[in-house]
């Protein structure tokens, strides 16, 4: 598929997504609101995206105000939707839930609309990240030449739908992304970065080439059989724990966007999201970490050698 066909598909998909989000907003506003609670988090300033987070102060909004903030968040897709001092690289989250009273027809209509929206989001991500065949560095120009200022993470995020939950409670999750990798694959990745001849701030072109060359040497010196892991920490993030009494089942959802609960039987109990304080986090069980040595800091690459 040529570039112009891809661009046409991307624009068509995005325009349909925007219209579908407008229609979702209209549907939600037309339904009785049983309860709503969202939690605004501090905005991340430009240049502070990678700072360690020790504390997060949460501000709670309820009722109609919470619903309106939720509807704004679903459609907050561009950099110009944020203040100029706020980072566009940091994920902007609005955890919470809005609970709507629905009959069978209303339930079906909302379910179909949210299914459509999530399908469009998945299609947009597929076009940009897979069908384009572009590297992550090349995707930026491909997207932003057409959709200037689009925050792709916000565009990709699916909306989570709940059906008659008994309770929705909130908390915080700390975790790592751990991936086993092979030495030769990492060397190939670094060599590709070196051949690209780019300059990555705060380094100039020569400094960046020197850094990557040093990383290639460090990885190449490892034994072929060395166990390598990428162990990347993920910023603390809000989660929702949803309880279904009849099934005696709890389901945990990531919660970057407000959940939508369709309620035909009752209004669920809604918990609050507490402030986050890293010093008071208690782990139910934290096994001893496997002894690993850091090889490439910026890639979070570790080895057992």
Burial level of 170, CB count in 10 A (0-12/13-18/19+)? buried
Question: How far apart, in Å, do the first and last CA atoms of the chain sit?
Answer: 45
Q: What is the mean pLDDT of residues 252-274?
A: 94
State the average pLDDT over residues 232-258.
90
Q: Which residue has the higher pLDDT, 142 or 284?
A: 142
Q: Mean pLDDT across the stretch 153-171?
A: 95
**What CA–CA distance (Å, rounded) separates 161 from 259?**
6
Q: For 86-97, how does the pLDDT look when each residue is reduced to its tens digit (9 = 90+)? A: 545 556 789 999
Handedness of CA 170, 174, 179, 185 (dihedral sign): positive
- Helix 183-195 × helix 205-220 angle, to 10°: 160
Tell me, what's the pLDDT at 267? 92
What's the whole-model pTM score?
A: 0.77
Whether the CB-CB separation of 160 and 97 falls below 8 Å is answered with: no
The arithmetic mean of pLDDT across residues 270-296, rounded, is: 76
């Amino acid at each position: 598929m040529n570039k112009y066909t891809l661009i046409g598909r991307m624009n068509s998909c995005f325009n349909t997504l925007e219209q579908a989000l407008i229609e979702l907003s209209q549907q939600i506003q037309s339904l009785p609101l049983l309860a709503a609670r969202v939690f605004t988090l501090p905005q991340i300033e430009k240049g502070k995206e990678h700072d360690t987070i020790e504390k997060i102060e949460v501000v709670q909004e309820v009722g109609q105000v919470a619903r309106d903030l939720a509807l704004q968040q679903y459609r907050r897709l561009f950099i110009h939707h944020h203040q100029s001092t706020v980072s566009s690289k940091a994920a902007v989250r609005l955890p919470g839930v809005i609970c709507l009273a629905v009959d069978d027809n209303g339930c079906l209509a909302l379910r179909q609309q949210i299914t459509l929206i999530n399908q469009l989001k998945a299609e947009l991500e597929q076009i940009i990240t897979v069908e384009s065949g572009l590297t992550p560095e090349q995707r930026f120009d491909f997207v932003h030449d057409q959709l200037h200022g689009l925050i792709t993470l916000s565009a990709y995020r699916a909306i989570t739908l709940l059906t008659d939950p008994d309770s929705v409670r909130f908390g915080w999750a700390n975790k790592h992304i751990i991936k086993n990798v092979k030495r030769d694959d990492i060397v190939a990745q670094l060599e590709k970065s070196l051949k690209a001849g780019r300059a990555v701030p705060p380094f100039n072109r020569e400094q960046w080439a020197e850094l990557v060359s040093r990383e290639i040497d460090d990885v190449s010196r490892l034994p072929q059989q060395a166990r390598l892991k990428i162990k990347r920490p993920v910023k603390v993030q809000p989660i929702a724990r949803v309880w279904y009494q009849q099934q005696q089942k709890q389901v945990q959802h990531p919660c970057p966007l407000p959940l939508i609960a369709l309620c035909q039987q009752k209004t669920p109990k809604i918990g609050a999201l507490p402030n986050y304080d890293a010093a008071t986090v208690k782990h139910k069980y934290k096994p001893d970490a496997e002894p690993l040595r850091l090889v490439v800091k910026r890639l979070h690459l570790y080895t057992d050698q």
